[in-house]
């Protein structure tokens, strides 16, 4: 069980991601796939100076799979308010075969309207053997 952190920022007119807060950041597309394992916690975070006002994460309506035991939701701040720049979801605790889920990232770049992108999560079966 691991925590997978996907750092996001809006730069040069496109959403970019990195698994490190410092980068390097790469363009995110519908073909972008993040590998996860049973029981992993996936966290989507707006990087410092991200150029993003907010993000939200949800299962893509066209995705046949549901790899989450706890659906992605905004992190709650210490004051009880929702954090629009950090979302988290828990993958299910067991998988017998590789499952790929498309999910929607709805993001709002500073001074712009909302945009939706649908990358993928690939859940490896128990033991990580695909």
The continuous run of DSSP H or E covering 100 comes out as strand 99-109
The continuous run of DSSP H or E covering 68 comes out as strand 68-76
Helices and strands, number each (H, E), in the chain:
0, 11
CB 95 within 8 A of CB 38: yes
Partners of 6 in beta bridges = 44
- The mean of the pLDDT values for the chain is 92
Residue 62 has pLDDT above 60, yes or no: yes
The Cα 105–Cα 120 span in angstroms is: 10
- Assign 125 a pLDDT band (cuts: 50, 70, 90): confident
In eight-state DSSP terms, residue 126 is G
Question: Which pLDDT score, from 0 to 100, does residue 127 have?
Answer: 59
Query: pTM (2 decimals)?
Result: 0.90
Structure tokens, 48: 């410092």
**Which residue, chain included where needed, has tokens 């989507």?**
44
Residue 129 has pLDDT above 70, yes or no: no
pLDDT tens, residue by residue, 5-57: 999 999 999 999 999 988 899 999 999 999 999 999 999 999 999 999 999 99
Distance of CA 77 to the CA centre of its chain: 19
Residue 116 has pLDDT above 90, yes or no: yes
């Amino acid at each position: 069980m691991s925590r997978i952190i996907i750092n996001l920022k809006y730069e040069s007119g496109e959403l970019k991601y990195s698994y490190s807060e410092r980068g390097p950041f790469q363009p995110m597309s519908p073909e972008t796939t993040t590998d996860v394992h049973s029981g992993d916690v996936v966290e989507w975070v707006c990087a410092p100076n991200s150029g993003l006002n907010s993000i939200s994460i949800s299962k893509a309506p066209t995705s046949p799979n549901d790899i989450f035991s706890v659906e992605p939701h905004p992190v709650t701040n210490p004051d009880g308010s929702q954090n629009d720049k950090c979302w988290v979801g828990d993958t299910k605790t067991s998988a017998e075969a590789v499952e790929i889920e498309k999910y929607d990232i709805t993001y709002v770049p500073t001074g712009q309207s909302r945009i939706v992108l649908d990358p993928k999560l690939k859940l490896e079966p128990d033991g990580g053997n695909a």
